[in-house]
Amino acid sequence: MHKDHITRLTQKGHYLGCHSDQHVLYCDWKNRDSLLITKNEFFDDLTKNYEALNEFGIKKQDVYYFLPPCEWYNDSISTWTKEYGLQLINYTSGTRSTADYTYPEMKSYCKSDEIYESIITYEKTNPAGLNGFILLVHIGTDPRRKDKFYLLLPSIIDELKEKGYQFVLIDELLDD
């Protein structure tokens, strides 16, 4: 299933990079300084992720931006990422787009229309709008979430393009 998606995405020119092989939580949610993984485990997980990506012709030297799993990390993870030869990145805060993984039984559940509205509201109220904004949207979500936010992406992209926004790959945004 994922192989078909990855093949289509790479054929369309999307940027696909490392995000962890096993989606490991690196540090405690309540005490960010407490690591839940060793440096060797971290390197091993990234290596396995790149081995899987390599099957699709995706090479480490071509996709060196790294978004940590759960978007949660600390100084040690940042240092290890650099040692591994990657640049750690994260999404821009300010919208509810990252809540698209939630489902109705969760206390933190956020409906897709609320996520959509949070993006539009941010764009209207922030002086820079969404210029340079890194918006995180999950390609896959829990089956219990019936209102898949990613299905609204074409609408939000069209709406933002009408306002003059251009969408670029992460390396185009961040590379000199």
pTM: 0.89
Does residue 90 carry a pLDDT above 90?
Answer: yes
Decide: helix, strand or coil at residue 65.
strand
In the chain, how long is the greatest CA-to-CA distance?
47
pLDDT, average across residues 40-46: 97
Tokens describing residue 137:
């949207």
DSSP at 67: -
For the segment 107-127, what is each residue's pLDDT rounded down to a tens digit? 999 999 999 999 999 999 999
Decide: helix, strand or coil at residue 82.
helix
Q: What angle do CA 31, 68, 54 make, to 5 degrees?
A: 150
What is the band of 140 on the pLDDT scale with cuts at 50, 70, 90? confident
| pLDDT recorded at residue 2 | 78
For the segment 53-73, what is each residue's pLDDT rounded down to a tens digit? 999 999 999 999 999 999 999
Residue-averaged pLDDT of the chain: 94
pLDDT, average across residues 90-102: 95
| pLDDT recorded at residue 151 | 93
Mention every residue, 6+ apart, whose C-beta is less than 8 A from residue 118.
Answer: 95, 96, 97
Does residue 176 carry a pLDDT above 70?
Answer: no
In order of start, what are the domains of the chain with their CATH numbers? Answer: 2-88 (3.20.20.370), 97-174 (no CATH)
Does residue 13 carry a pLDDT above 80?
Answer: yes
| pLDDT recorded at residue 46 | 97
pLDDT, average across residues 78-96: 97
| pLDDT recorded at residue 6 | 87
